[in-house]
Structure 1
Amino acid sequence: MSRFWSDHVIELAPYTPGEQPKIAQLLKLNTNEHPFGPSPRTLEAIRAATNDGLRLYPDNDSTSLREAVAQLHGLTAAQVFPGNGSDEVLAHIFNGLFRHADRPLLMPDITYSFYRTYCQLYKIPCQIVPLAEDFSIRVSDYTAHHAVKPAGIIFANPNAPTGIALGLADIEAIAMANPDVPVVIDEAYVDFGADSAVALLRKCDNIVVVHTLSKSRSLAGLRVGFALASKEIVEGLQRVKDSFNSYPLDRLAQAGAVAAIQDTAYFERGRQAIIQTREWLVKQLATLGFEVLPSHANFVFARHPDHEGAALSQALRDNGILVRHFSLPRIDRFLRITVGTRENSERLCNTLSEILLKTH
């Protein structure tokens, strides 16, 4: 604590990211990174952009990127709002769409924890909506009449850390029941098996879809994300962005992102490889006695009836494997395990088998 801090800084509880270890030889299955490298076309584009042009400011509107994203999704460039990673995009959404006096933001009790951090940062009251017993989102909780009109609704789909996905019909029902409220769907993991709500943008002008290149495009280190929404919503987000940082994406990030989006063949191969390995991993974990929630993400969420999540997480770390454990109500027995390569997954399962045998 410092006497120089602003008043609100003392009360902040910052988001805690997954561990980024400095120890060599650890198998890192804790932060949902892609197990394969970026597209060669992406690396080539970044190298080509590494030239004398770096002395100049980048395109503040990220025009080429917006056009590439728009073409991919059948939208107009005016419907695309890029940012320095999807977390920055979400920050602008919270600031630009959810600050409405005492109206609360609705969100699940188990979801991406950064949402609560942003509520605290921007002084947005939040109304926590418990997931069902099976950890799914109950649509009726969001379509029912609310005594106080919400400032907005936000959830990840597939949800994190559960991996469970909501269908488009349910998302449409939520949006239609709240026509004057922004409904934000954070689709960081959508490419691994869920249906994107981008398909609903023509029907529901209150929907905002958030994507990232960190997961399915293997670019967590480049920091590129974007929102897809109506032209009017994007205009509002642009006003917020240009009041904060008018040059959020550098030249290298823009060049690499465009190339990654355009290399659909490489994207599809990596996506399918992860989906296939995920299905194999789910079966192997079930054989070891784990309950695994139905995942449409590049991770699985699993618990063992006879073992504490924290103890299993530590035992894996002692054997050189990192997974994510959350010491939170309802999910403290679970491990969130990133789907790596088949070789990674085999090592994980073999190690878990040895741990379970020793502690039987």
Structure 2
Amino acid sequence: MKIAFYGSSLVSAYWNGAATYYRGLLRSLAEKGYEITFYEPDVYDRQKYRDMEPPDWCKVVVYEGTIDALKAAARQAAEADIVVKASGVGFQDDRLLEEVLGNASPRALKIFWDVDAPATLAELKSDPDHPLRQALFKIDLVLTYGGGDPVVNAYRSVGAAECVPIYNALDPQTHHPVPEDSRFAADLGFLGNRLPDREARVEHFFLDPASRLPGRRFLLGGSGWQDKPMSSNVNYIGHVPTRDHNAFNVTPMAVLNISRASMAENGFSPATRVFEAAGAGACLITDHWEGIELFLKPDEEILVARDGQDVAALIAGLSRQSAARIGARARMRVLADHTYAHRAREVDEIFRARLGARMEAAK
């Protein structure tokens, strides 16, 4: 079966947090026999900062950031059995959705794949005339990056025929233990770009604990933090390419996950880096959100902090030995239950059931 997937970028993780999600899931689907073409616009310097070349398991079409190029890419949807428009593509998203749905074959399964459902739903609820809300009647299925029952119920309330969360997971071929790297030496590391709905939480969960523990070393990676005030024990290293993520995760005593505000408020939305860090065997500290226990067991496979004071206390009381034990248990858990092979089986079942029902109805 052919999939036409319109997303932000497969070949570049630059300002593109969904990249590893796309890569792990689509590679696993390709291994099940799907023929996939990924369409991505050349915007935000993503092509300048590619961290992988087009893989042999997926054709990648990069189109210019113009309306004409967008239309040409969208016309290719007509050849696919399954057409996917992801959220957050980054160039004329509403127009792209319109063009993709307009060009898709009537027989094709049409999917909106939301990689930031809480934020999207907030837009839909505040704007009854939002283009996506108006298009939901043409869309067969909404798949989401996560969100649990709150997101499922919210999507149904705005007109979605069906919504299914497909959670982030681990790609063991990409994220795994590696030797430590002295560039990333620290007691606590955090990796994340500076975003409006994350910045205050980074101050609260990372920068404030750093100021409370002047004798400890803190490591900050990600784009956009260069002019942010921080204590002298914070080492800011800027953008960290994906090839260095494993070393970033395993070298500090612990690494920190800080959810974006909308994700934390909704819950049931583990970030990709939760699984990436666990897959590398890192000791992970996460801010609190509902549903953590569905993925990793608190206090045994992951440490949970409700505020910056908790983060400081956890770091002050943690040893390298206890951190290593937590990281090892986390790695065992995600390999057993939370790989992209597990997620691809879910998606494959959904696709085949939907297309099978459509073929039966057409007889």
Please confirm whether the aligned pair reaches a TM-score higher than 0.5, indicating the same fold.
Answer: no
The TM-score, its normalising length taken from structure 2, stands at 0.29
Structure 1 length-normalised TM = 0.29
